[in-house]
Amino acid sequence: MSFPFAWNEFADQPHNVAPRRDRLRYHLRHSASYLSLFAKDLAVALPALRRYRSYMKTMHRLPVDIGSPFGVSCSEVPGRGDDIIEALKSAGIRRTLVRVPSWERGELARHASFVGTLRREGLDVVIALLQRRDDVLDPAGWEGFLADTFSALGGLASHFEIGHAWNRTKWGVWDWREYLSLARPALALAPKHGVKLVGPGVIDFEFHLYPPTLARAPFDKISSLLYVDRTGAPESDQYGWTMAKKLALWRAVVDRSLREPRGCWITEFNWPIEGTGKYSPAPGKPSVSEDVQANYLVRYFVIGAASGLVERMYWWQLAAPGYGLIDSRDGAWRRRPGFAALRTLVRQVEGSRFEGKAGGVPAEIYYFRKGSEEFAVCWTVRGAVDYSFPKRPRLVIDRDGGERAVEPGPVHIDERPEYVFFR
């Protein structure tokens, strides 16, 4: 069964053209594929749960050296290359990710030019290779695309992510075995081209797909498109699972699915902006205001970086009307609050050492040290509190980089993350 592929240029994702009834009928016909997951998942389940409990006992309690985990994806915009470079450099971003779709195989020279520009500015570039249904049905065509892409971009990109959100049928893959049919030729070609691979690029909280795929696809780095936007704040739970708990479970499942350790990357997350209409990738409940998006961006990055369980995280993306750090609808690009929030986060936290999270307090307080400076990144999940720190504060830098001196006494903390520096 196949359906015509239709790209939504406004939201940067495929249209879901398959009728719900037909999708259900197809999945029922392939129920044996889903049943085949159980044996591998069952073998991993108990060891992974034990590892999960261990991570939950130590996460945000042990020191973590924060290197450069902050990434922002970007797409080429004709005539705006200088604006993209200036924005990434202004935000202090060192890592970026660029999508290359299989249906643009004839435009690899253009992609190579754009990626080359990023590399000349000192940016690390990961290439995410996007698939569609035709690639599953035409293995030779997909393998040709991989060979051409590795040849054209292998000297420019540090890693290639194989496949994208394939556990959503609109991306053209109908079960995990079909995904492996895309991953296997990449694994075979990678040594010939000297490239490193990332995968499996599962989207959302579907960690049962990792044991069977990782058993057959030994990627160099393990990736997840770990969205939590449908639960609202990163600290909100989905059937009891907060972002922190999902991170611990994901890492535990990955660890128990592999024979040797691999680094874990979150290669895509965001919150869509309310009121952006056709430009929103997920209109309705997941959408938030620009100000709330900026709050959640910082909180997600801090929770992830301080966990010690994930090496990199990439915000999707720099410039996009429906969710980007920059609203690109007008000729004069407008930087949203999330841009200033990310810039401040990178300036303060990159290269620091996380030293622990405060417990039993009415706010989320993460302590860091950077050189001789000691500071806390703090916020509330909802509402506001006045909190007296054990050490005397001397300076507060707000979410967007503004500074204010602190008088002796409690510090006001609300849902907007702030950086409190101590004497």
Q: Alpha helix (H) ranges present in 154-203?
A: 176-193
Given a contact cutoff of 8 angstroms between Cβ atoms, the answer to whether 350 and 302 are in contact is no
pLDDT mean across residues, the chain:
95
pLDDT given for residue 17 in this prediction = 65
pLDDT given for residue 16 in this prediction = 81
The span from the CA of 179 to the CA of 177, in Å, is 5
SS3 label, residue 242: coil
Span 163-174, mean pLDDT?
93
Express each pLDDT in 227-286 by its tens digit. 999 999 999 999 999 999 999 999 999 999 998 889 999 999 999 999 999 999 988 889
Express each pLDDT in 171-192 by its tens digit. 999 889 999 999 999 999 999 9
pLDDT given for residue 243 in this prediction = 98
Q: CB within 8 A of 421, min separation 6: which ones?
A: 373, 374, 375, 393, 394, 395, 396, 397
Which class does domain 8-351 fall in? Answer: alpha beta
Q: How confident is the model at residue 40 (pLDDT cuts 50, 70, 90)?
A: confident
pLDDT given for residue 229 in this prediction = 95
Express each pLDDT in 108-120 by its tens digit. 999 999 999 999 9
Express each pLDDT in 346-376 by its tens digit. 999 999 999 999 999 999 999 999 999 999 9
358-422 carries CATH number 2.60.40? yes
Express each pLDDT in 368-416 by its tens digit. 999 999 999 999 999 999 999 999 999 999 999 999 999 889 999 999 9
Q: How confident is the model at residue 37 (pLDDT cuts 50, 70, 90)?
A: confident
Q: What is the pTM of this model?
A: 0.96
Given a contact cutoff of 8 angstroms between Cβ atoms, the answer to whether 267 and 224 are in contact is yes
Q: How confident is the model at residue 27 (pLDDT cuts 50, 70, 90)?
A: low
**How many C-beta atoms lie closer than 10 Å to residue 354's C-beta?**
22
Tell me: pLDDT of 54 over 60.
Answer: yes
pLDDT given for residue 2 in this prediction = 61
Tell me: pLDDT of 24 over 90.
Answer: no
Q: Which two tokens stand for residue 283?
A: 């209109």
Q: Does 358-422 match 8-351 at the fold level?
A: no
pLDDT given for residue 209 in this prediction = 96
Enumerate the domain spans of the chain: 8-351, 358-422
Tell me: pLDDT of 30 over 90.
Answer: no
Express each pLDDT in 191-211 by its tens digit. 999 999 999 999 999 999 999
Express each pLDDT in 286-316 by its tens digit. 999 999 999 999 999 999 999 999 999 999 9
Tell me: pLDDT of 74 over 70.
Answer: yes
Q: How confident is the model at residue 39 (pLDDT cuts 50, 70, 90)?
A: confident
Q: How confident is the model at residue 146 (pLDDT cuts 50, 70, 90)?
A: very high
The span from the CA of 82 to the CA of 165, in Å, is 30
Neighbour-count burial for 70-100, b at 16+ CB within 10 Å, e otherwise = bbbbbbbbeebeebbbebbeebebbbbbbbb
